[in-house]
């Protein structure tokens, strides 16, 4: 496996240059490729052809779970397991159970959102071929990169290299897997 390179990486100096290049790579029909940027660039997801994030679905599931957990927990404790009459009021009512269920909704949503983000991003992943590139450390500082993977069906060493060069990429380099 070690002989086959992971793909090609090209460097860009400004967010604008990266964005225009990303549009070209997207329009060329590539699928297995990525941008590396030190900060989120507004509109880059569209330029990359990345759809709307699926994190909200996981968050919603988390929120529903949290609310149901709160309500059913309090119902179970106060009305089923050990009923305790407080102030002559009914054993269970969703009104007094609401504040706790509300907080649990938020708590579970937060965990689901962060867990969902990590899951969808495939993190934690401490090893990645891209990190082998010696200039990549400036990708969390002030440089911008486009990586096209070798496994992409449209990848061919010459054409992909030409595309990246035409899009304005500098230092087009092969990365080891």
Binding to other proteins, residues 85-104 (CB under 8 A): 86-87, 89, 96-97, 99-100, 102-104
Place of tokens 């509109």: 43
Helices and strands, counts by H and E, the chain? 5, 4
Q: Smallest gap, in angstroms, from Cβ of residue 155 to other proteins?
A: 17
| Residue (5 or 115) nearer to other proteins, CB | 115
| Residue (5 or 15) nearer to other proteins, CB | 15
- 55-75 and 98-121 are packed helices; what angle lies between their axes, rounded to 10 degrees? 150
d(CA 24, CA 144): 15
Report 40-79 residues binding other proteins (CB under 8 A).
40-45, 47-48, 50, 52-56, 59, 63, 73-74, 77-78
Q: Which of 8, 36, 163, 167 binds other proteins (CB under 8 A)?
A: 36
CA 17: distance to chain centroid? 23
| Residue (14 or 159) nearer to other proteins, CB | 14
CA 65 to each of CA 75, 105, 113, 114, 141: distance values in angstroms, whole numbers, following the listed order: 15, 7, 13, 15, 39
3-state secondary structure (DSSP) of residue 176: strand
| Residue (87 or 153) nearer to other proteins, CB | 87
Report 142-171 residues binding other proteins (CB under 8 A).
142
Residue 5 near residue 166, CB atoms below 8 Å: no
Q: Which of 7, 9, 11, 109 binds other proteins (CB under 8 A)?
A: 109
Q: Counting contacts by CB under 8 A, is residue 130 touching other proteins?
A: yes
């Amino acid at each position: 496996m070690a002989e086959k390179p992971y793909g090609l990486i090209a460097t860009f100096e400004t967010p604008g240059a990266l964005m225009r290049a990303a549009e070209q790579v997207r329009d060329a029909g590539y699928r297995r490729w990525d941008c590396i940027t030190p900060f989120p660039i507004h509109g880059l997801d569209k330029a990359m052809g990345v759809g709307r994030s699926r994190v909200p679905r996981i968050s919603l599931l988390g929120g529903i779970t949290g609310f149901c957990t709160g309500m059913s927990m309090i119902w179970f404790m106060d009305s089923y397991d050990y009923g305790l009459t407080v102030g002559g009021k009914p054993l269970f009512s969703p009104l007094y159970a609401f504040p706790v269920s509300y907080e649990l909704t938020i708590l579970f949503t937060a965990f689901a959102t962060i867990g969902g983000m990590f899951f969808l991003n495939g993190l934690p992943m401490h090893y990645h071929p891209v990190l082998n590139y010696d200039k990549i450390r400036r990708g969390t500082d002030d440089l911008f990169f486009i990586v096209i993977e070798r496994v992409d069906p449209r990848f061919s060493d010459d054409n992909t290299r030409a595309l990246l060069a035409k899009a304005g990429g500098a230092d087009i380099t092969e990365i080891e897997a």
